Chains A and B, each alone.
Chain A
Amino acid sequence: MTRTHHLHPFTALTAAVGAAVVTTAAASWPLSAAVAVAAAILAVRGGVAGRVLSAAAVILVPLCLSLLVLHGLFFPEGHTVLAEWGPARVTAEGLEFALELGTRTTACVLVFLLFSFTVSVPDLLSALAARRIPPQFGFVLASTLTLLPAVAGRLDRIRQAQEARGMVVRGGLLSRMGTLRLQMVPLVLALMDDAGSRAQALDARGFGNAGPRTSYRDVADSTAQRRFRAAALVLTAAAVVARLVVSWPAGVTR
């Protein structure tokens, strides 16, 4: 946890983007698997393994299953038939392609989840502001990251108030939909009202000002991190170029 906080948010971002791009460009399942495992290890060491892995499971399990069904059973270019049921053919090429795509996606998803669960949002905002990125962009980014918990908290309060007035929440889908409908009206009204008064407050505090800004938060950066970022960018660019060079003739002749 403390280790990741010493990283400048741009360093972590560069590393994440670099890893994802290189993995995609290399298109080699052992590398993808290695990147995925490395991300998982970092998640464990960062103390966010639970959240990263459960979020990843939600995204990846259905995706990998569908890849397996789609390419494992119906891969038109497959020659080495391992098994056959009517139109469905399990081919070695199909399985390999599914493995390839599956590990690559897994690596990218894990890397980005790791980044988003370990980055300090205030640090990121402050770093963005220092690069003259409009603060409104940072505000939208931060609000998006904080909106979901805020909405969930408010929905919970509304549900409690309604239960206190005799609304019995049962397990059934129809009952749940019915109660959700009742909760939407106060939720939307409350959020709109919040947004209105928040806008006035932000205006009064100079948020709409054009022109330069300063930042109270001091985000630590170092020469080593700057060098790392430069090197990572060069490496990433090189990987993309190499990939283009290698596949170019094949792409033309195909």
Chain B
Amino acid sequence: MTAATRTALRASIGSFTFHGENRPALGSAALSVTPGALTAVLGGSGSGKSTLGKLLAGWLRAGHSGEFRGSLELDGTRLEFQGAPDDPRLNPAEWSRRVAYVPQDAAAMLSTVRATVAEELAFGLENRATPRAAMLRAVERTAARVGLSGLLDRDPATLSGGELRRLAVGCAVIAEPDILILDEPLASLDGAGAAQIEALIRGLCGAGTGVVLLSQAADRLAGEATHWTVLVGGVVTAEGTPAQLAGSAELERSGVLVPVVGGRGGEPDTGDRETGVLEGGAQKTGAQKDGVAAPGPGAGTHGAVAPVMAGLELNGVSFCYGGDSRRRVGPQPVLVLQNVNLTVRPGEIVAVTGANGTGKSTLLRHFNGLLRPAAGEVRVCGRNITGVPVGTVAASVGLLFQHPRDQLFERTVLRETLFGLRELFGKAGAEGKARAALAAVGLSAAAETVHPAELPSSQQRLLALATVLAREPAVLALDEPTVGLDRTGLEHLGRAVKAAAARGTAVVMVTHDLAYARATAHRILQLDAGNLREI
């Protein structure tokens, strides 16, 4: 393969500034992509990775989306941009056929107007007037490549997170691009889902596609890259091979998550990704530093001396989504929870893991009554919550949702945190609680001036966490709190969870990140086929 020796895409960025902003989102940055090679761009939250990816792929266009100074060179053709009106104009469709991009939110890639996976895959080919026979072949070939052959007739809206991401990648690679840019392709996938995407990426590289990985974790996948570029505040601060950069001061400063590599060789249940801040090395969580979260069954100090009233109790809870055949696939309503018993004592941290789609979020929604059990009962601080409105239960149960964006609706970060606090602590107390919660997640500086929608997604998650912490609930339920957090974010999360437990809060966190669960929780439970079991 002669192609492997030349550079397919070379970008040299002087600056890129969004219209209406005065600070450039990207400063000096350069990137070269070689066919058949995996290149990783690593950076913490808000470092400009997505902006870089979208700029390279023509999703953000010079003049159209912002002012771009620099050059893009594809296969020897060089385009120079001066931020002037007579700059070359990219045709997004033509450019994306060569340089494809898959966004972090895979659903954003889909047309939403196609009824089946096969038609969604074909959408880009239809728009390019590909003859139907060729289209049928391409859909079949691509589906096999991304592992969707069995799902071609499914409605895209019913796919799981991992399937959705494979579909988005399929939509990008069906046009056989030379370069594929993947933005956090493993975010929120369970072990099996992540392994499939990793295998897919290896396959694409093997077939000669140059793959660019945008990631805030120097994880196993990033470790396979031939080249790393470290991005901080839109500027490249370091580049080199993984061997050169691993453990470097630049990587440390960037806020990129560095899991312990190869530290879990002996454990049988691997396959789960390690994005957590792990045992050993310099990056312990706050909880570990202070020696509190000694992993192991039961929090020794509680319950043994005197019987303490449980913070949260589930007795024989069963649940199934009613026969709403339009939204659920599958022939019969499946029992998501089956006779689940769970007791969480004050001060105890319990982690619940399980594959995507096993009902972990469903379980959490029972804690405050957003979902009501078909059988069994839920007790919060000893009180049965049957028939109690969610808003009332919320005084004792704080729930952090998987998608923090749905949770934020106020004009400033401080007002957001203050929402509903006055009813709990009075006018005088509320502001103090809000500011303390913001300080705990490292958002004090943003309190008065920043609109929640302007925060990068990881800080939105931390803000949503602060809104829950400020209420000082007796039970804290966290749904995938680690997703999208860089190292600083994870440290804030770890400290906040530990502090809440120390105050006597019963904490339940749902996470697919087994390593993080091990490092933080007293007990780990696995949800599988509707049952909880200790692991």
Contact = CB atoms under 8 A, between A and B. Distances in A.
Interface residues of B, number: 67
Interface in A182-213: 182-183, 185-186, 189-190, 193-194, 197-198, 200-209, 211-213
Given A197-B108, A198-B112, A205-B171, A166 B409 contact: no
B200 interface: no
A248 interface: no
Contacts of A26: none
Interface stretch (A88-96, A103-111, A156-164, A230-238): A156-164
Interface residues of A, number: 53
B401 A164 contact: yes
Nearest to B397: A164
Contacts of A161: 401, 406-407
B126 A208 contact: no
Contacts of A138: 113
Given A122-B115, A169-B391, A213-B126, A200 B59 contact: yes
Interface in B72-119: 92-93, 96-97, 100-101, 103, 105, 108-116, 118-119
B450 interface: no
A177 to B, nearest CB: 15
B62 to A, nearest CB: 14
A106 to B, nearest CB: 27
Contacts of A121: 115
A interface secondary structure, majority: helix
Contacts of A205: 93, 96, 111, 123-124, 127, 171
B231 interface: no
A208 B94 CA distance: 11
Nearest to B127: A206
B370 A164 contact: yes
Contacts of B269: none
B467 interface: yes
A189 B405 CA distance: 9
Given A197-B108, A204-B59, A165 B406 contact: no
B391 A197 contact: no
Interface of A: 120-122, 125, 129, 135, 138-139, 142-143, 146, 150, 154, 157-158, 160-169, 182-183, 185-186, 189-190, 193-194, 197-198, 200-209, 211-218
Interface of B: 54, 57-60, 92-93, 96-97, 100-101, 103, 105, 108-116, 118-119, 122-132, 135-136, 139, 171, 365, 368, 370, 389-392, 394-395, 397-399, 401, 403, 405-410, 419-420, 423-424, 453, 467-468, 471
